[in-house]
Structure 1
Amino acid sequence: MSSVTKGVILVGGPSKGTRMRPLTLDRAKPLLPIAGKPMVWHPLAALAKVPGLSEIILIGFYEDNVMAPFVKESQREFPNIRISYLREYRSLGTAGGLYHFRDSVLRPPVPQHIFICNIDICSSFPFAEMLELHNKHRGVGTILGVKVKKETATRYGCIVSDPETSQVLHYVEKPESWISNTVNGGVYMFDVSLFDEIKVAMDLKATRAQNDPLVQLDENLQLEQDVIAPLAAQRKIYVLESNDFWKQIKTAASAVTANALYLKDYSKIRPDLLSKGANITGPVFIDDSAVIDPTAKVGPNVAIGAGVTVGEGARIANAILLENSLIDKHTVVLNSIIGSDCRLGQWARVDGEPEPETAVKGQISVSVLASEVWVAPETHIRSCIVLPNKSLGKSAANQVLL
């Protein structure tokens, strides 16, 4: 009898994604299009390829009606897998939400393995390799480990492991000083005994609450600090170190970087999603309903959404264009995100700088136009954040335009 596997995607809620504003002012972060598909679609599509996977559960605290259209469309695209969304009554943390809905995760067919993904990850999602390693070591869990530069490692959960056995020896979430270049990639695989481990963490929190009035007794638990760190101390968790692409999606600038990574990956796994043409420099995704003038030059690393119009002589590169926007004649868009229903006049220019390796506080790199922004002809917007419903009649640089 083949083993049953289920997937869980932790999608967060409306109090999250604040660093993605203004893009998340009028849409949920998991539904923000990256490489032409909602952010949450990428891990879901990867999970759908796992042999024996029977169900994918999205857990978060967005209203049901926010996620329902995506769930319905995904069910249509992946008819052999049950897909559902479970809404937390409030934010319960990465482990608290899992434990709150444990009965739903464990309903028949009862899974032997559970994949868990954070929403804000751009990755190749090497689930098959994780399953292979997990079946060899038979610990409680396997965590995806990725290499980052030493200067940035302390921003993540850092992993020290045995290079021969892949057993995690030490795990610290955002340490004060450097301990390892291998960090938590936000993708996990666990046996069902995970819920026993979360119960232990819940009981420990209850004990602390009895002894310390400053500890709040609730269901809020973090997978990283409350579960993975103790498992590492007990030598019960292992790491699959991947050299494939990986990116955390926390800001609008990182969404442009992730867009390029996913588009490049399409050439290997989904070439049918990429557009070709005389004036297209790949990789480029163009929605079927978009209208692109044949003289416009598009690419590389461009995703164009539904109902977008790009006029003659326009130039688009390293950009995301959301639905129903108009890019008029001879307009240039570089290193930018153009929100839905925007209008860019003739000979206008919206550009920015590529995402820096290390963000500088107060410095804007990628230009971001929220929904329904109008840019006058011959106006230059560089490295600006523009809030919704703005009319821009003069050029601006390195500003937040309210």
Structure 2
Amino acid sequence: MCKYNVLRKGEKKCTRFRPLSFEVPKPLFPVAGVPMLQHHIEACAKVPNMKEILLMGFYQPNEELNRFLLNAQQEFKISIRYLQEYAALGTGGGIYHFRDQIVSGSPEAFFVMNADVCSAFPLEEMLSFQKEHGEPNSFVILGTTANRKQSMNYGCIVENEETNEVLHYVEKPSTFVSDIINCGIYLFSPDIFQHIGGVFQKNQEEMLLYSFDGEESTNGWHRAEAIRLEQDVFTALAGQGKLYVYKTLGFWSQIKSAGSAIYASRLYLNQYHKTHPERLATNKKGGPKISGNVYIHPTANIDPTATLGPNVSIGTGVTISAGVRVRESIVLHGANLQDHCCVLNSIVGWDSTVGKWARVEGTPSDPNPNDPLAKMDSETLFREGKLTPSITILGCNVTIPSEVIILNSIVLPHKDLNRSFKNQIIL
């Protein structure tokens, strides 16, 4: 059995992920010590008979992405290619545009996964579910449950409880529809392209109608290929006996914002007990005090009097000096945490410095920091389209002077601060 995996690379501009996306494409941002995309690739590589992984997106490939793909191919011994869209086509439009490459190996099925999701990725379970529920050519959505308020931020699924068939699908409804939400991970047979093609044909006909009416489309013929799987395809497929939902009991979250990366890091660190115990730091003689789940890159230099954890990720070349306290945070490449500083619920950017006795602190927005599987509404950092900082984020090459406090603030790259700040975005 041949299978492909198609990873969508997420948002076109990644504005919610600023200032961190200024330095690295969002899908390559390190979460729990490895690039966000690597978690997807590791899960795919475990699926029997997985033939190839295709990454699709509108990003211009650069040296960093090419290096990541080369290293991932060598590590996981699987073909990985990046296919760049000529325009932002949406999830449905992207896979339809590259459908010839997806079906070139005559796969029986293929996965489509959004890059900005954090999950246990129950891919083999989805395959078994597809065989047990519905026809071999049926389509499967990975779903999970949310509370009534959270559910309205996602695609909502109404299912037949006996057969798990999707009877009704609504993307981000204005009122409560269902507590089963779409996780952005799908299992398709090649038949899906017939349904996407129907949407493409309809879009073309509508464009012709606009031209006959004397109206010009600002997007030209690109508009016909811009297809959203959720709104344009799933809504029409629901109730036709082709679309099913597999509900996972494992963890899941979106990584829409920089703040939600800390929550995702916690989930992956907790999973490492089963999947990668070697990535978790332990208390050793002459080493720092480790509390809970902590990832430390081997190149980091950490004073034995420092205390790290729970839920901390320390990147390459980081220096952590005497008496430092880090909790619920991500510390990125080359950062320098000086004597007795404190970093809580924060992201410290590349090559940034936190001075002696300084305090960099955010307020956790998730419901229960003691429960690594507690679900969080990843939209809580954004209300009515405006950013509401609840964690502290230091961009690249930021310097925090000694004995100051940075609380619930976002600091853009290359800033040398000279005083304390609270609840601000520092441009």
Q: TM-score range by the shorter chain?
A: over 0.9
Q: Which residue of 2 aligns with 1:172?
A: 170
For structure 2, list consecutive stretches of 5 or more residues without a partner in the other structure.
367-376
Shift in Å at residue 362 of structure 1?
A: 5.0
Shift in Å at residue 52 of structure 1?
A: 0.8
What SS does the corresponding residue of 1:178 show, helix, strand or coil?
coil
Report if the CA contact (8 A) 1:48-1:78 is conserved: yes
Matched, 1:133 2:129: yes
Matched, 1:50 2:19: no
Structure 1 CA distance, aligned partners of 2:95 and 2:363?
A: 39
Structure 2 CA distance, aligned partners of 1:236 and 1:362?
A: 39
1:67 aligned residue (65, 68, 72):
65
Q: Which residue of 1 aligns with 2:250?
A: 244
2:309 aligned residue (294, 299, 313):
299
What SS does the corresponding residue of 1:288 show, helix, strand or coil?
coil
Change (3 A) 1:113 1:335: same
Report if the CA contact (8 A) 1:337-1:369 is conserved: yes
Report if the CA contact (8 A) 1:275-1:282 is conserved: no
What SS does the corresponding residue of 1:240 show, helix, strand or coil?
strand
User: Does 307-316 or 95-104 show the bigger shift?
Assistant: 95-104
Structure 1 CA distance, aligned partners of 2:109 and 2:304?
A: 49
What SS does the corresponding residue of 1:391 show, helix, strand or coil?
coil
What SS does the corresponding residue of 2:107 show, helix, strand or coil?
coil
Shift in Å at residue 104 of structure 1?
A: 1.3
- Structure 1, residues 280-335: CA drift from partner, whole Å, max 9, x if none? 01211100101111110000100000000100110001000010010011110000
Q: How does 1:309-348 map to 2 (within 5 A)?
A: 309-348=319-358
Structure 1 CA distance, aligned partners of 2:363 and 2:355?
A: 21
Matched, 1:288 2:298: yes
Structure 2 CA distance, aligned partners of 1:262 and 1:12?
A: 19
Structure 1 CA distance, aligned partners of 2:83 and 2:10?
A: 11
Matched, 1:400 2:425: yes
Quick one: which amino acid aligns to residue 148 of structure 1?
A
Report if the CA contact (8 A) 1:252-1:366 is conserved: no
Report if the CA contact (8 A) 1:296-1:313 is conserved: yes
Structure 2 CA distance, aligned partners of 1:113 and 1:291?
A: 46
Q: Which residue of 2 aligns with 1:92?
A: 89
Report if the CA contact (8 A) 2:10-2:116 is conserved: no
Report if the CA contact (8 A) 1:12-1:91 is conserved: no
Q: Which residue of 1 aligns with 2:187?
A: 189
Q: Which residue of 2 aligns with 1:4?
A: 2
What SS does the corresponding residue of 2:290 show, helix, strand or coil?
coil
1:122 aligned residue (110, 118, 124):
118
Q: How does 1:262-277 map to 2 (within 5 A)?
A: 262-277=268-283
Q: Which residue of 1 aligns with 2:141?
A: 143
Shift in Å at residue 233 of structure 1?
A: 3.7
Shift in Å at residue 234 of structure 1?
A: 2.0
Q: Which residue of 2 aligns with 1:365?
A: 390
Structure 1 CA distance, aligned partners of 2:234 and 2:343?
A: 43
What SS does the corresponding residue of 1:371 show, helix, strand or coil?
coil
TM (norm. structure 1) is: 0.96
Report if the CA contact (8 A) 1:145-1:239 is conserved: yes
Q: Which residue of 1 aligns with 2:236?
A: 230
Shift in Å at residue 174 of structure 1?
A: 1.1
What SS does the corresponding residue of 1:63 show, helix, strand or coil?
coil
Q: Which residue of 1 aligns with 2:371?
A: none
2:17 aligned residue (16, 20, 29):
20
Structure 2 CA distance, aligned partners of 1:107 and 1:288?
A: 41
What SS does the corresponding residue of 1:116 show, helix, strand or coil?
strand
For structure 1, list consecutive stretches of 5 or more residues without a partner in the other structure.
none
Shift in Å at residue 12 of structure 1?
A: 3.4
Q: How does 1:202-217 map to 2 (within 5 A)?
A: 202-212=200-210, 213=215, 217=221
Structure 2 CA distance, aligned partners of 1:337 and 1:187?
A: 27
What SS does the corresponding residue of 2:149 show, helix, strand or coil?
coil
Q: Which residue of 1 aligns with 2:360?
A: 350
Matched, 1:160 2:158: yes
- Structure 1, residues 213-263: CA drift from partner, whole Å, max 9, x if none? 476642111111111111114231000011211111111111111110110
- Structure 1, residues 71-120: CA drift from partner, whole Å, max 9, x if none? 011011111x1111111111111111111111111123x21110110011
Change (3 A) 1:220 1:362: closer
What SS does the corresponding residue of 2:104 show, helix, strand or coil?
coil
User: Does 57-66 or 112-121 show the bigger shift?
Assistant: 57-66
Report if the CA contact (8 A) 1:12-1:62 is conserved: no
Quick one: which amino acid aligns to residue 51 of structure 1?
P
Shift in Å at residue 135 of structure 1?
A: 1.2
Count of aligned pairs: 397
Change (3 A) 1:185 1:214: farther
